[in-house]
Structure formats: structure tokens, C-alpha cells
A and B are shown apart, each in its own frame.
Chain A
Amino acid sequence: MREIKLMKGNEAIAEAFIRAGVDAYFGYPITPQSEVIEYLMYEEPHKRTGMVVLQAESEIAAINMVYGAACTGKKVVTSSSSPGISLMQEGISYIAGSEVPCVLVNVVRGGPGLGTIQPSQADYFQSTKGGGHGDYHLIVIAPSSVQEMVDFVPLAFDLAFKYRNPVIIQSDGVIGQMMEKVELFEQMPRMTNEEIKQKYDDWALTGRTKGREHNIITSLDLVSERQEKFNLKLKEKYDRVEAEEVRYEKIMCDDADYIFVAYGSSSRICQKSVKLAREAGIKVGLFRPITLYPFPFNEIKQMVPHLKGILTVEMSLGQMVYDVKAAVEYRILVEHYGRVGGMIPTPEAIVDALKTKIIGD
């Protein structure tokens, strides 16, 4: 029987780090995700599993500690919120550019600038379209419950190591702060140094032992022909990710005339909106992208012949809506509805938006 607890999203994900056999967490406090590092410091995971937890002097230092530790083949994670993630972008670009696996968590708050400490989904562009400099992608997975805050931690590490690519768990202030019932998975063992050496000796920095060349972690190549070749190699990797790793959830879409497309906490609110709309006789479904990159373009496109229109619901001025419009190739009406600045849309307002923007009541 798995352990069941009532936990805050931020605390649950911190517990999941420990249980997933993570080797190190480096972070810097920022609202609304400071409970992550607080929980870790309180739990003293060095006593439970040997996991390292260190509070860095800045998000810039934190991401570079992640970079260094992850260079060695260890499982390493950091968490922050929007302004902190902005500070990390240079490091994230280097990590992607040197193909180092690691996991990041963004408990998104409102912006731009210092914005607000309240929930938001306005970092969609930043996470899915780059964020840092250069041609690269993060794999972006968006939990919509405290349970998924937990379950996506092992998934994120599997993807990070499978593709040697940073993976970001794109949460938001609602999920980080709310409490829900959560089923915790059993403690997974941390890999030993010998296991890491055996498994990742072709790239990880573990010390140049006899019989192998020195390993180098770098994102630099001053020879343009080689750098182009490397960029194309990354492209092949992203193509594989796009082909194999799309994840999504469909709720009551089979007979739907209209759908909401929403992820994270917005998708939770939309579940209620679906119910309200159906009670009013409107056949609505919910399509929830779980991976924001790779985005489920094809899966949305396939639904187009059966649909009259789509309303995307995001706590932003409309960011994912561009991907949804691209997915349907502008063949049906796609509109955006959202609240910003830390305001959260109500189920009723979403149904009203569907009526006015899509159905045309």
C-alpha cells in the first residue's frame, strides 16, 4: 500500500525528489515556491538517502551548481518561480547546449518584471520557445494536480536521461500552494558512483580512469562546420522527442462540438466548465496538453473535422493559443480566454467566454 498524505504541491514535489533517488537539489528562495527548499532542509534528506541540498547565493549560482553536479551523471534538480527562472536562462542554454540531463521546476507567478507572487501561466513562451539564447528546446511537462507534481518527477528524470536534455516541470502558483490528497511512490534507491560510472562513462565527468579518453562537457565549438553538425544533431534529437514523447489527456471529447484547450491549473478549472456547459446543453470537451513541448499538434489537428471551435484557457494574455491555431491550421475558430496579474478564471466566466467568443451567443 502506497503512502497517502494531504500535501501542498510544493511540499509534495520536494518529497518526490527525495523518493525518486535524486542526488542533489540547489535552489534559491522565491515566492510562491520557497516551500520546496524549506521542506527539503527540514527533512534532512542527507540522512534519509544521502541527497545533497544547498541554498545558493542566487538563482544564477543555483543553476550553475546544477550544471556542475549534473555534468557528473548525477540526478540533479532545482526549482524556482518566474523571475528566478529568467535569471537561470543562460545556464539552461549552456546545459541544453552541452546535452547535460537535469530537471527544473517553475512554479509560475505573474509578470513581467517583479509582477506578482500570485499564480500565472505567462511563462509558456519562455519554457516552450527557448528562453535562453540559441536553438534548443526544453522538454516541458505541465502537472495539473498535486498528484502529478509527484508523479512527474520520475518521469522528468527518465526523459532527461533518455535524451540527455534538461526537462522543466511547468507548474504554477495554484498547484504549488494548494493541498490535495496525494499517493506517494516508494523510495527509489540513489545510483551508486560505480553504477553511474558504468552507465554514463561515455560522457559524464567522473575522473579519467585508465582506458578511456578524458570526458569534456562544453557547449563551445569555434569551428563552424562542427558547430553546425552539432546543431543538426540536436535537431534530430528534438525530432525524436516530438515523435515519441507527446502526452495529453482528453476529457469528454468524443461527442464534443467545442473543446477547451488548457493545461495545468486552468485545465482543472475547465473540468468544472465542461460540466456547467453540458448542463446547459452545450457539448464541450477538454483537451489537456501534458507535454507543452513537444506540443500535441497532430492530436489537436485530428479533432478538427468534428469541431466547431476551440477556446484556449490560460492565465496569460494568450500564449499557447498560437500553438493551437497552428495545430488547426486556422481551419476552425480558435480564441483565447484568460485572466492575468494573478487573477484566476472562474468556471462560469469560461463558459460565458465560450458562448460569446466561439458560439456567438
Chain B
Amino acid sequence: MAEIKLEDIIKEENKVFSKTSLFTEKPLSYCPGCGHGVAHRLVLEAIEEMGIVENVIGVAPVGCSVLAYEFMNIDMAEAPHGRATALATGIKRVYPEKFVFTYQGDGDLAAIGTGETIHTCNRGENITIVFINNGIYGMTGGQMAPTTIPKMKTSTSPYGRQVDMMGHPLKMTEIVAQLPGTCFVARHAVHTPALVRKAKKAIRTAFEYQKAKKGTSFVEIVSNCNSGWKMTPIQAIKWLEENMLPFYELGTLKEIGLD
């Protein structure tokens, strides 16, 4: 039997997908089933499609995505925990013609970096914020996050989040949508192909708003953390759909228009 080569199967005419050239060759360090890989790809695809790689500077702070610079083949800075939008502000102010984005988790953006997030959005810094919300601290091993929903179990809310004792989850996307500095604010998810397409469109739109110098564009991605949630990837997606999405409703919260 003749040997079958990959090139015999995948040809230009039947190729429907290829990895964006803006990924480095390093294997992603994220857990199998995690949404970070998809979210990384969508950001990079938007940059590639807009042809702006030579003018992009990214910032990823402490959290699971602290090593994003290992995977994203673009100029990047790693920020202290919570301070990504402050770095991005500094970069954008001295290079207003560059595209500047942050890629932050929920512990980073909505707990330790709440002040920076609100003030950056309120100043209307002309940057794009990509916010991954999986309701938990993934990197440190599954502790309660500001976004952990009521009754959700984590290693620091082992009997479920008791809001009378631990406070309520914070909906940062709703908060920043109210601020005059934001121009485009949306919440998406990436656990089905249809949702991935919508999320990609939103991230692209966010960068288009930055191109049009409209202010801060902000895209939340509600994602799963099967490792932190102590579930299989399939269970985690089901749990996300049944519990996270009713609390964190998907959709566009604010859009001022590109014109």
C-alpha cells in the first residue's frame, strides 16, 4: 500500500483553516479544554487580517496568560498583577499611532486591577482590552475570583461562594459600559464554533474602534477553567452554559458607532 502524505490530503483547494502566522512555534501551556488558546488565536487573527503586526504592542499581566508573549509573535510586555492597562496607557500615550491591547484575566482586571481598569476606561484611552472571565483564579490553583458566581465552589470558597460573607461577584463589563470613555463593550464566549465566530468579529470590531480613535474598546470572553473547576472539558462547557451564561449574559453592551 502506498504511503499517504499530508500534502496529498490537505491541498490549497480544500484547505479551510490554517494557523495564523502570528503564533510562535511554542506549544501553548494552557490546560487542554481551556478557552485561552482560542482567544489568543482570535486576537492574533484580527491583527493579521488588519495587517497591523508591525504596529501592535500587547500587554499581558500576571495570571494564566502571563506567558502570552511566548505564544504571540508580536512585541509584548508582561505587566505586574492588575497593571496591564496602566502599561498600555503609557505605551499608547507615547505611540498614539500604534495599536495597543491588553489581554487580562478576571482576577487581574476585576480584583487587583479594578482601579486601573476603571480609570483607563474612564479616560477613554484609545486601547483594546480583552478580558478573559472564567470565574476563578486559574494560575494559582482555583481560588475564588471577583467573578466567581454565587454558590460556585473554589478552593477558597469550598462550600460555595456565600455572598453574605464573601461579597457579590463583580460585573466589570457592565461597569465599564457606563463610562463615557468606552466606545465598544461586548461580552462573548468561545466554547462553540458559532460563538467563536461572533467573538472574533467582536475582537476585530474592537480593534477597528481603536483604529478610528474612538476610545477604549472592551471585549469580555466568558470562558471555562476545567482544571480549576475540577471538571472534564465537556462538563465544564455544560456547566458554563447552565451557570455562567445566565449570570454573564452575552451580547453587545455598548457601541457608539465607527463613523
Contact = CB atoms under 8 A, between A and B. Distances in A.
B94 A215 contact: no
B54 A56 contact: no
A204 to B, nearest CB: 8
Interface residues of A, number: 40
B98 A207 contact: yes
Given A207-B57, A216-B76, A76 B94 contact: yes
Contacts of A94: 79-80
Interface residues of B, number: 33
Contacts of B76: 205, 214-217
A361 interface: no
A90 B91 contact: no
A209 B115 CA distance: 34
A205 B90 contact: no
A271 interface: no
Interface in B41-81: 53-57, 59, 66-67, 69, 72-80
B133 interface: no
Contacts of A66: 90
A207 B55 contact: yes
Contacts of A71: 57, 77, 87, 90-91
Contacts of A23: 94
A68 B90 contact: yes
Most chain A beta-carbon contacts within 10 A, residue among B54, B66, B78, B87:
B87
B109 to A, nearest CB: 14
B88 interface: yes
Given A207-B54, A207-B98, A215-B75, A65 B80 contact: no
A90 B80 contact: yes
A55 to B, nearest CB: 10
Given A57-B116, A72-B57, A205-B57, A65 B93 contact: yes
A208 B115 contact: no
B119 A57 contact: yes
A359 interface: no
Given A24-B90, A56-B86, A207-B98, A61 B116 contact: yes
Interface in A109-165: none
Contact of A64 (B53, B73, B87): B87
Most chain A beta-carbon contacts within 10 A, residue among B73, B86, B98:
B86
B200 interface: no
Most chain A beta-carbon contacts within 10 A, residue among B69, B73, B90:
B90
B159 to A, nearest CB: 33
A218 interface: yes
B90 A208 contact: no
B83 interface: yes
A70 interface: yes
A54 B69 CA distance: 27
B73 to A, nearest CB: 5
Interface string B79-107: 11001001111110111001000000000
Q: Which 5 A-B pairs have the closest CB atoms?
A: A68-B90, A68-B87, A69-B90, A64-B86, A65-B90
Interface of B: 24, 53-57, 59, 66-67, 69, 72-80, 83, 86-91, 93-95, 98, 115-116, 119
Given A24-B93, A60-B83, A214-B72, 17 more contacts: A57-B119, A58-B115, A61-B119, A62-B86, A66-B90, A67-B80, A70-B90, A71-B77, A71-B87, A98-B78, A193-B95, A206-B95, A207-B53, A214-B74, A216-B76, A216-B78, A219-B78
24 contacts: A26-B90, A57-B115, A60-B86, A60-B116, A61-B89, A61-B119, A65-B89, A68-B79, A71-B57, A72-B57, A72-B91, A94-B79, A98-B77, A98-B78, A205-B57, A205-B75, A206-B95, A209-B54, A214-B76, A215-B75, A216-B75, A218-B69, A218-B78, A220-B67
